[in-house]
A and B are shown apart, each in its own frame.
Chain A
Amino acid sequence: MKTTLAKPGETPVKVLAALTFVFCAYLVAAGQPALGVGDTFPSLSHFTFEGDPLPELKGKIVLVDFWASWCAPCKETFPLLEQLHHRFSKKGLVILAVNEDKSRMAMAEFLKEYPVTFPVVRDSGKKLVAKVNVPGLPTSYILDPNGKVLAIERGSRIAQNRKEFIARVEQFLENNEKAP
């Protein structure tokens, strides 16, 4: 009878190779690859959110901002996003803030201090943020009307280069207007 067991002399190498493979497979399965520029953003309609209803996104440039009340740079980016919303919403920019707080109260308190008029939803199940594998908070993903990622902006950089960020958004909007 043929057996599949390894010979005693070759045991450690084979076993360790198998274990390494299992471990690597586990690590790969545990972490989603981070979304990059040019990738397709997950469809928001596939996720369940608390809070405001999802806005109409068809034909719009969409800025999805991941934030949390405990994130210090969010206190700087939120007023900037509000400013962008007022300035560019008529030109086709939709801002959607996705909150990642564990507590709904924490989000509400933050919004009292930094009120905004663009839609804010709460990703209470952390499904979207895990799918996108956001590198840090806050992070903004600027999407074209087809859901392709045009740019990924990290909060600290947005706050440091406000003018550059606004100019970039404006450029995306102009390109979208020119597109057939």
Chain B
Amino acid sequence: MNGQISSRAANSGLPAGRLAKALAFQLALFLGAFAVLLGCSGCVNVRPWERDALADYTMRPDRDPVTGALREHMWFSREASNGGRSVGGGGCGCN
């Protein structure tokens, strides 16, 4: 490797130390970019046949009517004049 760097340094006219730093930077950049891209591979879609957990009853936001009603109440109480999801109201929180 030292021989290669010396040879390259001689060819390019750059000092050997500077060339070695540049090559080290190149290697670090390569490894860093590779690690980032490898991480991106985790962003794949869940395959249709692997969606059983997503289709589970416990994943439904409306599975518990009491919790649902409470959430609905909080929603329309706090969302000001929009009135929540389906109920009209002023957002006063007095209901």
Contact = CB atoms under 8 A, between A and B. Distances in A.
A102 B25 CA distance: 47
Contacts of A30: 41, 44
Interface in B41-64: 41, 44, 47-49, 51-52, 55-56
B26 A6 contact: yes
A5 B48 contact: no
Contacts of B74: none
Interface in A52-111: 66, 68, 70-72, 100-102
Interface of B: 3-4, 7-8, 12, 14, 19, 22-23, 25-26, 29-30, 33-34, 37, 40-41, 44, 47-49, 51-52, 55-56
Contact of B49 (A19, A31, A126): A126
A176 to B, nearest CB: 29
A180 interface: no
Contacts of B47: 129-130
Given A1-B3, A70-B56, A19 B48 contact: no
Contacts of B26: 5-6, 8, 11, 15
Chain A contact patch, size range? 20 to 34
A22 interface: yes
A134 B34 contact: no
20 contacts: A3-B4, A3-B8, A5-B8, A5-B26, A6-B26, A7-B12, A15-B30, A19-B30, A19-B34, A30-B44, A31-B44, A70-B52, A70-B56, A72-B55, A100-B49, A129-B47, A129-B49, A134-B49, A136-B48, A137-B48
Nearest to B41: A26
A30 B41 CA distance: 9
| Residue of B33, B40, B41 contacting most chain A CB atoms (<10 Å) | B33
Nearest to A27: B41
